[in-house]
Structure 1
Amino acid sequence: MPTEVVLLESQALRVEQMGRVEVLDKVKSLVMLPDGIHLRTEEVARYFEVSTEVIKKLTQRHRAEVEENGLRLVRGAELRAFHRDMMSLWKGEGPESYPQAPTQLTLYTRRTVLNVAMLLRDSDIARSVRTHLLDAEEELRASYVSLDRRVTRIEGCLADVGSALQELGPVLGRMSQRLDSLDRKLDVTYQVVGAISLRLTDVSQDVIRLDARMDDVAHRLRDLGRRRSG
Structure 2
Amino acid sequence: MRPDPVPPTRTGLPGPGGDGPHAQRDALVESRALRASVAERDNVLDKVKQLALSPDGLHATTKDVAAYFEVGETVIRALVHDHRSELTSNGYRTLSGDELSCFKQLCGITSRSRSIGVFSRRAVLNTAMLLRDSIVARQVRTYLLNAEEKQHATPVDNLFHRLAEWVDERITEAVARQLATHTVTDMGHADMTRIAEETVRTAIDRTIVPVLNIAVRNDGEQRTRIEALDDEVTRLKRILREREAAGSMNALDAMNPRQFEQHIAWLCRRDGCDQVTVTGGHGDTGADILAYTPDGRRLVVQCKARTPAATITSGDVQQFIGMAKLDYKADVALLVATCPFTRDALLLAARHDMTAVHRGLLEAWNNGAKLHVLQG
Query: C-alpha distance in 2, partners of 1:52/1:147?
Result: 44
Query: C-alpha distance in 1, partners of 2:43/2:112?
Result: 29
- The structure where strand makes up a greater share of residues is 2
SS for the counterpart of 1:62 is helix
Residue 147 (str. 1) matches residue 160 (str. 2): no
**What's the counterpart of residue 76 of structure 2?**
55
Runs (4+) of structure 1 moved beyond 4 Å?
none
Query: C-alpha distance in 2, partners of 1:114/1:130?
Result: 9
Write out per-residue CA displacement over residues 142-174 of structure 1, whole angstroms, 9 at most, x where no aligned residue.
Answer: 11xx326x558x48xx6xxx9xxxxxxxxxxxx
The 1:101–1:123 alpha-carbon spacing in structure 2 relative to 1, beyond 3 Å, is farther
After superposition, residues 185-204 of structure 1 pair within 5 angstroms as none
The two structures have a TM-score, normalised by structure 1, of: 0.58
Query: C-alpha distance in 2, partners of 1:99/1:43?
Result: 16
After superposition, residues 63-212 of structure 1 pair within 5 angstroms as 63-87=84-108, 98-143=109-154, 146-147=155-156, 150=158, 154=161
Write out per-residue CA displacement over residues 55-76 of structure 1, whole angstroms, 9 at most, x where no aligned residue.
Answer: 1111110010001111111122
Deviation at 1:102, TM superposition (A): 2.5
Q: Work out which structure has the larger RCO, using CA pairs closer than 8 Å and 6 or more positions apart in sequence.
A: 1
Letter matched to residue 134 of structure 1: L
Write out per-residue CA displacement over residues 162-214 of structure 1, whole angstroms, 9 at most, x where no aligned residue.
Answer: 9xxxxxxxxxxxxx9xxx9xxxxxxxxxxxxxxxxxxxxxxxxxxxxxxxxxx
Deviation at 1:82, TM superposition (A): 2.0
**What's the counterpart of residue 191 of structure 1?**
none
The two structures have a TM-score, normalised by structure 2, of: 0.37
Deviation at 1:105, TM superposition (A): 0.8
Query: C-alpha distance in 2, partners of 1:48/1:121?
Result: 11
SS for the counterpart of 1:120 is coil
The 1:18–1:101 alpha-carbon spacing in structure 2 relative to 1, beyond 3 Å, is farther
Query: Tell me, which stretches of 5 or more residues in structure 1 are unaligned?
Result: 88-97, 163-175, 181-230
Deviation at 1:139, TM superposition (A): 0.7
The number of residues matched between the two structures is 150
SS for the counterpart of 2:117 is strand
CA RMSD of superposed structures (Å):
2.7
For the pair shown, the structure with the greater C-alpha radius of gyration is 1
Sequence identity (%)? 43
